[in-house]
A and B are shown apart, each in its own frame.
Chain A
C-alpha cells in the first residue's frame, strides 16, 4: 500500500495553476489569437476519394477581390510525416489525392468568407482511381496502390513475433479458446477545432502557433517540409481545447500557414471547421482481431496467439507504432508464459488513423477481456478470481521483455468488486440487469522517441532570482490534462514554496527545453523527473548558500512553507526569497536544468523498442447495465473504477482524468463510430465519411453519463516522480470490455464487436431465441501471409532479449525521392 503521504503539495487537492484562466475566458487558444494585418486561410479539399491530379487552375481564384495568395502542392518542396519510416504526407497534394478531405490548394485572403468564395473558383481536374474502403479490399491482389513504399500492394506493414513455442503450449493446454472480435474506428472529437497561426519574423524566420500536443515534432516537420533550418522555425503550442491524441501529428494546415506567412510577410490564421477536423482524424484504427488462448484447469493463461488487422486509412501517421501497440501490452497485465503475435496494417482511401487515447491497446484489450469472461464462464470460475489468480508480479520481466515496476492491479480488482457488490450481483441479478468486470494496464510514456536519438525525452529549466519568483521552462504541452499543474507542483514541492509563486512557460520551441509532447501518457513521469532534477539542483545551490549564512552544513538545510531553515536549529531560518538572494550573491545569476531519459529496454530484438515504458498503470472496472429485452435498448446506471496511478499528484485532476476516460470509453462502447459510406457502384465512386458532424458523431451528453465511482489506488513506482504513474489513458481501457461482459451477464448474449448498440443486442437476442449462437461479431479473420516471425525465447526459457533467428524481410520500396520530384515539377 501507499506510504503515508508526507508531501506538502503533491497529493493535496488544489486549484490547478491554470484554473483561473480557464474559467474567465483568458486562456488563449489558437483561434483566439488576433494579430494586426492578419490574413485568413482556407483549404480546398479533394471531393474524390482516390485520383491522380491532372491539373489545377487557380487563376480565377487569384483574381478574386480580397485574395492575396493561392498555394498548391508545387509550392512545397518536401514530404513529411510523424514517423521517419512513413514520410508520406504532403502539405498540399501534388500528384495524387487519397481520400475525401485530402487538401489540394490553399487560399489566403482578407477574411474567411472571401477565402471560401475563392475556393469555389479553383478548378481541379482529377483522374479517378479505384478505391479501397476496407482491409478486405486492400488485401486483394491487384488493387490501386495508395503508396509506392508499402510492403506489398496496400499492405503498409506486417509484424510477426514469437516469444516461446506457443503452438506447443496450446497443444498441451487444458483448454484452448479461439475468438474473433472487431473494434470499429472512432475519433477524438476534441471540442476545440484545430487552428494555427503563422507569423513571419525578421530574416526569413517564422513562428507557428498551433493547437498541437507535440510542438517538437511539428517543429521538425515544418523545418523539413519547408527546407528551413530548425533554428529558423519557432513552434508555440497553445493550450489545447482537448487533444486525446488527435493533435499529435504534424498537420498540413500548420505547414501551409507557416509557408504563407513567409511568402506574404503577414500573420496567417487557419481554423478548421468540424468537418475538416474529421478529415484530420488520426483516430482509433478499426481492428479485426483473432485470439487463440490456452489456459490450464484453473483458467490461468498458458499461451496466446494474437492476430490483428488494422485499417490504417490513407497515410502512415503513427501506424507502424499503432500496429505494435495492438499486441505488445497483452503480457503486461496477467502472467503469460508464451506469446506470439502477428499484426498487419493496410492503407485505405479514408482519413488516416493514428493514436487515440490508449493508442492501439484499446482494441485488443477489449478482445482479451471479453475472451477471459468467456473462459471464466465456461470454466465456472468467478471472473474476478480468474484474474486475481494470474495478476503479473511487480518487478516482472514479461515474455516479450517488458520490465514492469509496481502493480496495484489486485487491489484495483478487490476495490471495484467490493464497491460494486460484485459477489451479490454477478450472475444473480434479474434478467435484463447485469454486471461486468474487466482490467487493463497502460504505458507511462513510451520508452523511445518517435525518431531514434540518444537525447533526453524531457528537459526542464529553472530560473530563479532575487524576486523570489521561480520560472520553470519546459517543452511540455497543456492539453487539459494538467501538465502545467504537475510541473509547478513538482517544483513547488521540492523548493518548499507556494505553487502560485512559480510561473511556467511551456510548449515553446524557442524558449523551452525539448519535451517530446503530450502523448503516450509520458508527461507526468518524464517531465516530472526532469523537473525534480532541475529543482533539486536549484535547491542544492540555495541550501549551500543558506548553510554558509547560518554557518551550518548544507545537509541540515530544509525547505518548507516558503522558508529555508536549519533542521538542527529551527531559529536559524529565512524566507525562501532571502535564501535565493544569498545564492545569487555567491553563484551569480541562477539557473538549473534537469532532464529525463528512460533506461534502455531489456528487449534487444528488432521492434523491441515499442512497448517498453518506465512504468505501467493498472485499472479495474465494473460496469452495470440494464437492457430492455424487447428493443435491446441499453442503459448504464453506474461504473465503478479503480486505477493504480502510483502516486496522486493532484487528486482533483487525477479523478478528472479517470472519469474523463470512463466517459470516452463509454462513448466508444455504446455509440461513437467513424463509419464510411459508399454509394451504389454503378452510379457513383464516392467513398465518404458517413457523418462528419457533431450531431451525428454521437458523443454522450450530460444525460447519458452514468454515475462513476472512482478509487485512486497508489502503488508508487520507483521510476515515477514521487512514485507517480499515468492516469489519463489507462482508465479508458477496461470500460469497454466490462460493458460487453455486463451485457452477457444481463441477457446472455455476446456482442463481440464495438460499438455495442441496441440493434446488435436485439439481433443477438433474436438469434438466441431461435436457438442460434446469441452472438453478434465477425465470423472470420482473413487468410494472410505472415512473414517468418522473430523468435525471442522468454526470459524463463533462457532468452536474453535477442531473437534467435534472422528472418528475411522484404525490403520496403524506397520512399518517394522528393528532391527528384521537385526538380521535375519545377522545370
Chain B
C-alpha cells in the first residue's frame, strides 16, 4: 500500500472542497460522506435545491455540474472538487429573471413549485445545448423530473414560451396569448 500516493479521505475528518457555485468560487468544509445535495442545502444554505427521495427516483434535486444536469442526491460532495455548479439561486442575472423563470411563473409551469428548481435547471441545460427543441425533445429532457401537480403540459408550454422569448429577447409577457384563457 505504501506505493499509493492517492488522495485519501478518511471517514472521520471533514473534507475541504473548492468549487464554483453559481459562478462564484466557494471553499467549504463538509463531513465526508455528504452528498452534493446535503452540502448545498446544509453547508451552503442553498435550499433552493429540493429533495423528494434522496435515491435518484424523483429528480427534484437536479443541479448542473459543469453544465450537465445531474442528481445531487447521488453525487458525492467530495467529487464536486474543482467543478462548476449551478443551482436555481444563480439563474437570475443582475436581479433579472431568466426567461425560463419568467415563463414558468407566467404560464403555470410552477404549481407548488417544489419540482420547479430542478426542472428549470434541466431546461436551461437543454436550451444551452439546443436552442430550439421540439415538444418531444423537451418531454424527453424532462423525463427524469417527476411533477405531481401540473400534468407537465403547462411545463412544456412554459419552456416553449421561454424559447420564443429567448429568440426575441423580449421582456414582459403578452398574457393574452395564454392558452386556456378562453372560457
* B106 and A652 form a contact (CB under 8 A): yes
| Chain A residues within 8 Å of B47, by CB | 25, 28-29, 31-32, 34
0/1 string, A1-25, CB within 8 A of B gives 1: 0100100000111111011111111
Do A651 and B106 form a contact, CB below 8 Å, given A13-B175, A191-B147, A694-B57? no
Q: Does B110 contact A (CB under 8 A)?
A: yes
| Chain B residues within 8 Å of A14, by CB | 175
| Chain A residues within 8 Å of B156, by CB | 702
Q: Does A273 contact B (CB under 8 A)?
A: yes
* B111 and A701 form a contact (CB under 8 A): no
* A25 and B89 form a contact (CB under 8 A): yes
Q: Does A496 contact B (CB under 8 A)?
A: no
* A191 and B114 form a contact (CB under 8 A): yes
CB under 8 Å from chain A, chain B span 25-54: 31, 41-42, 45-54
* A705 and B154 form a contact (CB under 8 A): no
Do A479 and B112 form a contact, CB below 8 Å, given A14-B175, A273-B54? yes
Do A695 and B57 form a contact, CB below 8 Å, given A656-B149, A660-B150? yes
Rounded to whole angstroms, the CA-CA distance of A664 and B57 in the bound complex is 18
Rounded to whole angstroms, the CA-CA distance of A480 and B154 in the bound complex is 14
- The smallest beta-carbon distance between A18 and chain B, in angstroms, is 8
Which residue in A24, A192, A273 is a CB contact (below 8 Å) of B92?
A24
* B111 and A694 form a contact (CB under 8 A): no
Rounded to whole angstroms, the CA-CA distance of A682 and B82 in the bound complex is 56
Which residue in A24, A27, A663 is a CB contact (below 8 Å) of B151?
A663
Q: Which residue of B lies closest to A701 (CB)?
A: B143
Q: Does B165 contact A (CB under 8 A)?
A: no
Which residue in B50, B108, B114 is a CB contact (below 8 Å) of A656?
B108
Rounded to whole angstroms, the CA-CA distance of A12 and B178 in the bound complex is 10
Q: How many residues of A contact B (CB 8 A)?
A: 68
Do A19 and B110 form a contact, CB below 8 Å, given A26-B48, A34-B45, A652-B180? yes
Rounded to whole angstroms, the CA-CA distance of A200 and B181 in the bound complex is 47
B: contact size bracket = 35 or more
0/1 string, A625-662, CB within 8 A of B gives 1: 00000000000000000000000100111111001101
- The smallest beta-carbon distance between A170 and chain B, in angstroms, is 40
Q: Does B72 contact A (CB under 8 A)?
A: no
Which residue in A27, A192, A663 is a CB contact (below 8 Å) of B150?
A663
* B45 and A660 form a contact (CB under 8 A): no
Q: Does B69 contact A (CB under 8 A)?
A: no
| Chain A residues within 8 Å of B109, by CB | 23
Rounded to whole angstroms, the CA-CA distance of A714 and B182 in the bound complex is 10
Q: Does B164 contact A (CB under 8 A)?
A: no
Which residue in B52, B54, B179 is a CB contact (below 8 Å) of A191?
B52
* A19 and B106 form a contact (CB under 8 A): yes
* A15 and B113 form a contact (CB under 8 A): no
A-B contact pairs, 22 of them (CB 8 A): A13-B181, A19-B104, A20-B105, A22-B104, A29-B47, A34-B47, A191-B112, A191-B149, A192-B50, A193-B51, A241-B50, A242-B114, A242-B149, A244-B148, A479-B112, A480-B111, A481-B111, A656-B149, A693-B53, A694-B55, A695-B57, A701-B143
Known contacts A23-B105, A23-B110, then 12 further A-B pairs from the complex at CB < 8 Å, ordered by chain A residue: A29-B47, A191-B115, A191-B147, A242-B112, A651-B180, A652-B181, A654-B180, A655-B108, A656-B108, A660-B111, A694-B57, A695-B53
A residues near B, CB below 8 A? 2, 5, 11-16, 18-29, 31-32, 34, 113, 188-193, 239-244, 273-274, 479-482, 648, 651-656, 659-660, 662-664, 693-695, 699, 701-703, 705, 707-708, 710, 712-714
